[in-house]
Amino acid sequence: MEIDKAVAVNQKFMISLAFWSWLVDKGLLPDGSFIQPAPHILFVYDESGRNWLKKRVEKLKKLPAFAATEYTEDYETIKKWVPLLCSGRPKEGAEPIACSRHPDGTEVNYGLLTRNLAQTFTELGGEVSLLSTVTALKQQADKTWCIFWKSTLYADFYLVQVLKKFKFSLREHILVLSTLPHKKSL
């Protein structure tokens, strides 16, 4: 039973939480309302799924970040945790089910987070380009940067090239790429 991916995802998410907290502390995000508590639930059915989840929880519970994880095969407990998964599912004679639950899970409203980040960036003088994907970033001999992007609105192969001077800086282990003058210290 491999748990490396779950551990890696958890570690990356914790780094994201620390970064978002830092942005709130620095006043670059208005608040942390985009993060809400929500239990983390895993649901499985059939005997092989149940065996897999039970082994997974046994391994994960040994780690501090996952110690509060609960496991159950009890229909009533699963119904209490996630009522919709039991709606229409018979209690007796049906395929085996199981569920794990970590009570300290988190729900992130990435739409609100993105709007807040874009608003802060534009208030600081930045420009947000929507409906496009950066495909390459190359430094030229004169130290300007050539940005290649593809429009996701007009055509599949529509490439645009823009030359701008950028400032790169490393602050608190965060790479900052901007055309903004660095007047305000982050």
Tens of pLDDT, residues 35-51 = 999 999 999 999 999 99
Q: If you average pLDDT over residues 28-40, what whole number do you get?
A: 94
Contact criterion met (CB below 8 Å) for 73 and 97: yes
Residue 34 falls inside a structural domain: yes
Domain count within the chain: 2
* Domain co-membership, 166 together with 75: no
Residues 102 and 147 in one domain: no
The predicted model gives 95-107 an average pLDDT of 95
Single out the residue in 108, 140, 159 at which a domain terminates.
Answer: 108
List the alpha helices (DSSP H) in the chain: 4-25, 47-60, 75-81, 83-86, 110-123
- When pLDDT is averaged across residues 157-176 and rounded to a whole number, the result is 47
Q: Choose the final residue of a domain: 108, 140, 163.
A: 108
Top pLDDT among 164 and 151 is at 151
Q: What is the pLDDT of residue 165?
A: 56
Res. 155 pLDDT band, cuts 50 70 90: low
Confidence class for position 140, pLDDT limits 50, 70, 90: confident
pLDDT the model gives residue 170: 40
pTM of the model: 0.69
pLDDT score of 163: 53
- Reference 100, options 83, 78, 133; nearest CA is 78
> Which residues form the domain of 180?
129-186
Residue 157 lies in a domain: yes
* 119 located within any domain: no
* Co-location of 104 and 176 in the same domain: no
What is the rounded CA–CA span in Å between residue 53 and residue 81? 16
